[in-house]
């Protein structure tokens, strides 16, 4: 076991980057040509990819912190629900990332844009639920407050 909880230090990066990717993608749909040289689509894709990759260290440190929870603790159920929400977040944002990275003319078609937007919104909802459950673990059960 590590001397300090690392999970709370790592979760802020993917949360911020993934939420930012949704906002930037909405800006891209609103103004596809950008604004004063800003390319919202590229910034959104970079934020999505980096945020999705940053989930890995957050998940690993979360699993390490989960080992500190007693098996008979009610916090274990909340932790399992938190992990389930993380999987939903990873799948939704991962599918959106796949659609954005897919090569070919179909990757930027109008229906594909709406699929990507739907997956991003679904991922954002899952991310909010993940954060709420994580906050419950911290403030209700005191997990990660060493």
The verdict on residue 44 lying in a domain is yes
Question: pLDDT at position 118, please?
Answer: 97
- The verdict on residue 71 lying in a domain is yes
Bridge partners, residue 35, by sequence? 38
> Residue 1 falls within a domain, yes or no?
no
11 within 8 A of 144, measured Cβ to Cβ: no
Is there a contact between 137 and 145 (Cβ–Cβ < 8 Å)?
A: no
Tell me the average confidence (pLDDT) per consecutive run of 10 residues in the chain, 146 residues long: 75 97 92 71 94 95 88 93 97 96 68 92 98 93 78
- 130 in a structural domain: yes
In a domain, 127, yes or no: yes
* Residue 144 placed within a domain: no
H or E stretch including 80?
helix 74-101
**Residue 25: inside a domain, yes or no?**
yes
Q: Taking CA 127 as the corner, what is the angle to CA 124 and CA 133, rounded to the nearest 5 degrees?
A: 145
3-state DSSP helix/strand/coil % of the chain, to nearest 5: 75, 0, 20
How far apart, in whole angstroms, are the C-alpha atoms of residue 34 and residue 84? 36
CATH of the domain at 127: 1.20.120
Q: Which domain holds residue 75?
A: 7-139
Q: Confirm whether 2 is domain-assigned.
A: no
Q: How many domains does the chain have?
A: 1
């Amino acid at each position: 076991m590590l001397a300090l909880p690392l999970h709370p230090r790592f979760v802020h990066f993917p949360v911020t980057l993934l939420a930012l990717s949704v906002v930037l993608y909405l800006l891209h749909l609103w103004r596809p040509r950008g604004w004063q040289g800003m390319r919202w689509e590229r910034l959104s894709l970079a934020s999505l990819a980096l945020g999705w990759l940053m989930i890995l260290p957050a998940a690993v440190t979360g699993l390490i912190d989960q080992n500190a929870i007693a098996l008979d603790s009610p916090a274990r159920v909340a932790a399992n629900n938190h992990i389930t929400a993380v999987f939903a977040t990873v799948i939704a944002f991962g599918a959106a990332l796949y659609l954005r990275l897919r090569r070919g003319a179909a990757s930027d078609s109008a229906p594909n844009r709406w699929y990507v937007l739907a997956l991003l919104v679904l991922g954002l909802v899952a991310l909010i639920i993940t954060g709420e459950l994580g906050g419950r673990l911290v403030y209700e059960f005191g997990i990660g407050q060493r």
